[in-house]
Amino acid sequence: MTTPHYIDGRWVEGQGNDSISVYDPSLGAPFAELRSASSAQVDEAVQAARRALPAWKSRPAAERAALLRGFAEQLGARREELIALQVRNNGKPRHEAEIDLDDAVATFDYYAELAEQLPQKNRDVPLAAPGFTARTRLEAVGVVGLIVPWNFPLVTSAWKLAPALAAGCTVVLKPSEITPLIEQAYGQIAQQLGLPAGVLNIVNGKAETGAALSGHNGLDKLSFTGSNAVGSQVMRSAAAQCRPVTLELGGKSAIVVFDDCDPDQAVEWIVAGITWNAGQMCSATSRLLVQDGIADTLLPRLQAALEKLRVGNPLVEEVEMGPLTSQAQWLKVAGYFATAREEGLKCLAGGKALDAEGWFVSPTLYVDVPETSRLWSEEIFGPVLCARRFTTEEQAIAQANDSRFGLVATVCSADLERAERVADALEVGHVWINSVQAVFVETSWGGTKGSGIGRELGPWGLSGYLSVKHVTRCVG
């Protein structure tokens, strides 16, 4: 790992100020070290992307599509290695790491298909006025900075890289300093496929490297996924240059369970929504709203399910939930356990860090949590579920919408008409009905309110990297 930065088609050593240790969170022990990229190296990466832009954006879309298919194939070919790295660095159970890999592969294949369709979108525009013709032309936005977090690194980067490259943009990607290894694969694949130098650059580092990228005046756009605190700084640097941003930020999402549900089935959906990736999901459904008539049946079953969840090193086959990915995250979640004790919250399960060498916490359930509790309103980013009861559908909708975030929600009800009605009333970007959080590349991802700006995935994800031009001609 002495050359972790991929700049202008070459792997180079870091010259930045930060030394980065990469950890196995199941052991709390480092297994790799690297030096961050300096601001000058970020500048080199942006300049390389600028130089590569004219040729890449004018390359036939079918050729860009073929290269994207190559990414999908090569990810598939490195399946075992990439799964193992995610298990080790993220602490994900193997079946979760497998889904991440499949998701990344599907994303590259999907945007290859959309790239192939791009030329047909450049069409004549019928005009009511005589004497003129007009045509639409979709063009790459330009050089794009991509900054991503650590919770689903392979996937989050794929959701940005694939549509950006499909659109004809050139990119500088900054992975998270917590998981800087997995995205090296994208640079290695780019090199292997003969992607022209400068089309895809990767710079690693912490906040200093991220800020050097987000504030660089050579970017045409920035796409950021991460916390609201950093998202707001990134937006400020974009504002200084009046530059477009896409922001995928935090969440405090609701799962609404109506009386008519099968309680065991509902428990499955609730547990998945808060313990997948050890609850380190922007989309974690961390606020449970349960209707009065089912609450006394459901909550004890939920408690039992959380208590029997097997937590441990994901290398052990039967483990269902791994550790938190970083010590900082573990300390943050432990801080919320302390706040819950100070606030006198009623804890039905967990509420503590595990006495183990890695960064483990127990799946946790607090009930009858007041709306004024910090745990009800703040994003915790761990397996910590807060529950409240409701009586009417209107109350459920009002409580679910009473959040500064608006990322996702889940509705559980046997009355499908009601479930659809509630889904329509929820102020979020994605709703699941009677389901785990299945994410399909054809649908969109992104939030309302404090959860961000813009959408990823689907055709909307591609639009984020395209600029619309019209050419109008006077024909006399």
Q: Which residues are catalytic?
A: 248
Binding characters for ligand NAD, 169-188, by CB under 6 A (x = yes): -----x-xx-----------
Q: Which residue has the tokens 């529950």?
A: 387
The answer to whether residue 444 forms part of the interface with ligand NAD (CB under 6 A) is no
Q: Tell me the β-bridge partners of 255.
A: 288, 410
Query: In 3D, which of 282, 381, 383, 375 has the Cα closest to residue 328?
Result: 381
Question: For 472, which DSSP code?
Answer: E
Shortest distance, position 318 Cβ to ligand NAD, whole Å: 27
Q: Which of residues 393-412 bind ligand NAD (CB under 6 A)?
A: 407
Q: Which span sits near ligand NAD by CB under 6 A: 135-143, 181-189, 368-376, 446-454? A: 446-454
Q: Which residue stretch of 4-12, 91-99, 220-228, 268-276 sits at the interface with ligand NAD (rule: CB under 6 A)?
A: 220-228
Amino acid identity for residue 162 in this structure: A
Among 105, 112, 147, 290, binds ligand NAD (CB under 6 A): 147
Non-local (6+) Cβ contacts of 422 within 8 A are: 256, 393, 396, 397, 411, 413
Distances, alpha carbon 319 to alpha carbons 87, 221, 313, 359, in Å: 12, 41, 7, 15
Q: Is 252 in the site for ligand NAD (CB under 6 A)?
A: no
In the numeric block, the tokens 């009002």 are attached to 398
91 part of the interface to ligand NAD, by CB under 6 A: no
Q: Is 289 in the site for ligand NAD (CB under 6 A)?
A: no
Closest to 308 (Cα-Cα) out of 338, 277, 271: 271
With binding defined as CB under 6 A, does residue 377 bind ligand NAD?
no
Of 97, 184, 75, 119, residue with least CA distance to 67: 75
Shortest Cβ distance from residue 248 to ligand NAD (Å)?
3
What is the C-alpha to C-alpha distance for residues 307 and 350, in angstroms, rounded to an integer? 7
State which of residues 151, 277, 291, 313 lies at the interface with ligand NAD (CB under 6 A).
151
Instruction: Confirm if 135 and 124 have CB atoms less than 8 A apart.
Output: yes
Applying CB under 6 A, does 227 fall inside the site for ligand NAD?
yes
- Binding ligand NAD (rule: CB under 6 A), the pick from 251, 263, 358, 406 is 251
Q: Is 452 in the site for ligand NAD (CB under 6 A)?
A: yes
**Amino acid (1-letter code) at residue 241:** Q
Shortest Å distance, C-beta 220 to ligand NAD: 17
Determine, following the binding rule CB under 6 A, whether residue 379 of this chain makes contact with ligand NAD.
Answer: yes
Binding status of residue 35 toward ligand NAD by CB under 6 A: no
The two beta strands, 19-24 and 29-35, are antiparallel
212 residue type, one letter: A
**Measuring CA to CA, how many Å separate 276 from each of 50, 272, 421?**
39, 5, 27
Per CB under 6 A, the list member of 210, 273, 323, 382 interacting with ligand NAD is: 210
Stretch of 34-42, 150-158, 264-272, 355-363 lying at the interface with ligand NAD (CB under 6 A): 150-158
Residues at the contact surface with ligand NAD, assessed by CB under 6 A: 147-151, 156, 174, 176-177, 206-207, 210-211, 214, 225-227, 230, 233-234, 248-251, 282, 379, 381, 407, 445, 447, 451-452
